């Protein structure tokens, strides 16, 4: 599930708040703490995350050179040795705009080709099979606040991630809403995207921004910076709640009605519709029309960008979702994998999903207390089935953390595995 902050006690992150799962299901440990069997124990922690804005050498040599498109600096061939990336090469690859793919002409920001889904594969405009591998930032509102109300808190974190060798070719940008529906999960953002139709807020933003200011000062500069570094970007609406009841899905629709059209022209941007629907007592058939509503909202503003489709039980039934897909095209299906939830039933779901559609494991990770074989075993599985992934999380206190120091320079065992994996696959299924 999502995130954790080590501030006080962090198993996988923070204070423990039971979120009970049905049928012995466990939620991932990412977004908030260690999970107990039979449910989710997650938390958020409170202390400000350390060392966001200091230092940070720039990621190795992004070569500029494409044509600038609306809303973003163009890049042509970002190299960046520290991210392990091969050059993406020159101008945008032109697409024909048909078959659900973006046209990658000169009007699109960045130098990366548009992506589209073809059966169980993710492909570039030139029909090359693509597997994206990278890492996730923590809440970008938190990084913005820790950077002194400046996007430098976000960009410096990206630079440090690249310098440490754990950036890869894709970065996930979690956008937190102000309402927390499940105790402390996800954590309260000091600078959330201001959307909420639900009950009275359990979180009080320390430095609230208007919708327009959040986009112009936080999200768009972060996306544009990643674009100049030759990265694909996942905009993740980071809510954890029962999406088939309550008002979480309504909030998400409001978010996407605003955000999707703003980034529709970005070839390199993917949309993660809803971080983690809980919905342990609902089947995929019940959640599907809710997800369809989110997809329809996104498609109204962004007809072609790849959408990462969630499933119920904290994204643990991607096989059900891919077997009975929503209406539309260019869908990947997500799975959030942690040691406590990686049971046989979930493994079977993933094995089913990858035969029907490309899968994006947008969260996975583990702590020092987890079995040492979890990371290497998952590496074998994901390399074998061709899933894309972003590891959670490039921080020292949110967890599972990849770094062991506040300066964000020292990788722990988890971070070292991510670095080694990314280096080994730097050019594998990459858009050269």
What tens digit of pLDDT does each residue of 256-312 get?
Answer: 999 999 999 999 999 999 999 999 999 999 999 999 999 999 999 999 999 999 999
For 161, the domain range is: 51-57+127-424
pLDDT band with cut points at 50, 70 and 90 for residue 28: low
Question: In sequence order, which residues have a C-beta less than 8 Å from that of residue 241 and are 6 or more positions away?
Answer: 181, 182, 248, 277, 278
Q: Is the pLDDT of residue 320 over 90?
A: yes
Tell me the percentage of the chain whose pLDDT exceeds 90: 67
| Domain assignment present for 99 | no
Contact 2, 276 (CB under 8 A): yes
What's the pLDDT at 63? 35
What's the pLDDT at 204? 82
Which of 407, 378, 398 is CA-nearest to residue 133? 378
| Residue that wins the pLDDT comparison between 212 and 199 | 212
**Average pLDDT rounded to a whole number, residues 69-92:** 34
Q: Is the pLDDT of residue 339 over 90?
A: yes
Contact 64, 111 (CB under 8 A): no
| Domain assignment present for 20 | no
Q: Is the pLDDT of residue 100 over 90?
A: no
| Domain assignment present for 347 | yes
Rounded CA separation 221/219 (Å)? 6
What's the pLDDT at 43? 32
pLDDT band with cut points at 50, 70 and 90 for residue 199: low
| Residue that wins the pLDDT comparison between 94 and 154 | 154
**361 three-class SS:** strand
DSSP state of 404: S
Q: Is the pLDDT of residue 101 over 80?
A: no
Contact 260, 198 (CB under 8 A): no
Would you state the structure tokens that stand for residue 190, as one six-digit string? 């000091």
| Domain assignment present for 185 | yes
pLDDT band with cut points at 50, 70 and 90 for residue 432: low
pTM for the whole structure: 0.80
Q: Is the pLDDT of residue 202 over 90?
A: no
What's the pLDDT at 182? 75
**234 three-class SS:** strand
Q: Is the pLDDT of residue 49 over 90?
A: no
What's the pLDDT at 109? 61
Q: Is the pLDDT of residue 250 over 90?
A: yes
Looking at the DSSP bridge assignments, the partners of residue 174 are: 236
Q: Is the pLDDT of residue 87 over 90?
A: no
pLDDT band with cut points at 50, 70 and 90 for residue 83: very low
Q: Is the pLDDT of residue 165 over 70?
A: yes
pLDDT band with cut points at 50, 70 and 90 for residue 78: very low
**What is the domain-level CATH number for residue 226?**
3.20.20.80
Q: Is the pLDDT of residue 155 over 90?
A: yes
Range name among 13-17, 399-403, 406-410 with the lowest pLDDT average? 13-17
What's the pLDDT at 179? 80
Q: Is the pLDDT of residue 325 over 90?
A: yes
Question: In sequence order, which residues have a C-beta less than 8 Å from that of residue 28 and are 6 or more positions away?
Answer: 1, 2, 35, 40, 276, 314, 315, 336, 337, 338, 340, 341, 363
What's the pLDDT at 187? 82
**Average pLDDT rounded to a whole number, residues 226-234:** 97
**Average pLDDT rounded to a whole number, residues 329-343:** 98
What's the pLDDT at 146? 97
- Helix count and strand count (H, E) for the chain: 11, 14
Contact 309, 299 (CB under 8 A): no
Rounded CA separation 365/31 (Å)? 11
**Average pLDDT rounded to a whole number, residues 362-386:** 96
Contact 177, 239 (CB under 8 A): yes
Which of 88, 58, 250 is CA-nearest to residue 162? 58
What's the pLDDT at 194? 93
Contact 246, 179 (CB under 8 A): no
| Residue that wins the pLDDT comparison between 320 and 68 | 320
What's the pLDDT at 205? 87
| Domain assignment present for 101 | no
pLDDT band with cut points at 50, 70 and 90 for residue 200: low
Q: Is the pLDDT of residue 4 over 60?
A: no
| Residue that wins the pLDDT comparison between 152 and 72 | 152
**20 three-class SS:** coil
Rounded CA separation 281/288 (Å)? 14
Give the number of domains in the chain.
1
pLDDT band with cut points at 50, 70 and 90 for residue 246: confident
| Domain assignment present for 2 | no
| Domain assignment present for 86 | no
Which of 83, 61, 63, 25 is CA-nearest to residue 342? 25
| Domain assignment present for 27 | no
Tell me the percentage of the chain whose pLDDT exceeds 70: 73
Rounded CA separation 347/337 (Å)? 10
Which of 145, 51, 15 is CA-nearest to residue 403? 51
Q: What is the mean pLDDT of the chain?
A: 80
Q: What is the radius of gyration, based on Cα positions, of the chain?
A: 19
Q: Is the peptide bond before 183 cis (omega within 30 degrees of 0)?
A: no
Looking at the DSSP bridge assignments, the partners of residue 41 are: 18
């Amino acid at each position: 599930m999502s995130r954790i902050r080590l501030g006080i006690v962090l198993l996988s992150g923070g204070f423990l708040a039971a979120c009970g799962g049905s049928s012995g299901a466990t939620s991932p440990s990412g977004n908030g703490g260690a999970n107990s069997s039979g449910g989710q124990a997650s938390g958020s922690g409170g202390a400000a995350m350390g060392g966001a804005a200091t230092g940070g050498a720039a990621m190795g040599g992004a070569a500029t050179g494409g044509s600038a498109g609306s809303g973003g600096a163009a890049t042509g061939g970002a190299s960046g040795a520290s991210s392990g990336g091969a050059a993406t090469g020159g101008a945008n690859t032109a697409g024909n705009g048909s078959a659900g793919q973006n046209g990658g002409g000169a009007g699109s920001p960045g130098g990366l080709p548009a992506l589209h889904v073809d059966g169980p594969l993710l492909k570039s405009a030139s029909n090359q099979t693509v597997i994206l591998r990278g890492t996730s930032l923590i809440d970008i509102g938190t990084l913005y606040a820790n950077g002194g109300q400046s996007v430098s808190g976000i960009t410096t974190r990206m630079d440090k991630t690249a310098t440490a060798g754990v950036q890869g070719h894709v970065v996930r940008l979690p956008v937190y809403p102000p309402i927390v529906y499940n105790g402390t999960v996800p954590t309260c953002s000091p600078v959330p995207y201001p959307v909420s139709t639900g009950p009275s807020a359990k979180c009080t933003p320390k430095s609230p921004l208007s919708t327009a200011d959040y986009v112009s000062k936080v999200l768009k500069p972060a996306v544009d910076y990643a674009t100049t570094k030759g990265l694909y970007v996942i905009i993740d609406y980071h809510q954890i709640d029962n999406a088939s009841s309550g008002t979480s899905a309504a909030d998400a629709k409001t978010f996407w009605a605003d955000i999707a059209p703003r980034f529709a022209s970005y070839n390199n941007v993917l949309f993660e519709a809803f971080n983690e629907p809980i919905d342990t007592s609902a089947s995929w058939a019940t959640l599907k029309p809710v997800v369809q509503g989110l997809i329809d909202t996104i498609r109204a503003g962004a007809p072609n960008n790849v959408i990462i489709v969630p499933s119920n039980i904290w994204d643990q039934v991607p096989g059900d979702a891919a077997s009975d897909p929503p209406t539309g095209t260019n869908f990947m299906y997500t799975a959030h994998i942690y040691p406590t939830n990686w049971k046989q039933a979930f493994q079977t779901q993933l094995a089913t999903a990858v035969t029907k559609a490309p899968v994006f494991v947008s969260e996975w990770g583990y702590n020092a207390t987890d079995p040492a074989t979890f990371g290497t075993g998952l590496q074998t599985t994901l390399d074998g089935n061709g899933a894309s992934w972003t590891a959670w999380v490039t921080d020292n206190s949110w967890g599972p953390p990849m770094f062991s120091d506040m300066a964000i320079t020292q990788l722990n065992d988890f971070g070292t595995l991510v670095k080694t994996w990314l280096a080994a696959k730097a050019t594998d299924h990459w858009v050269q």
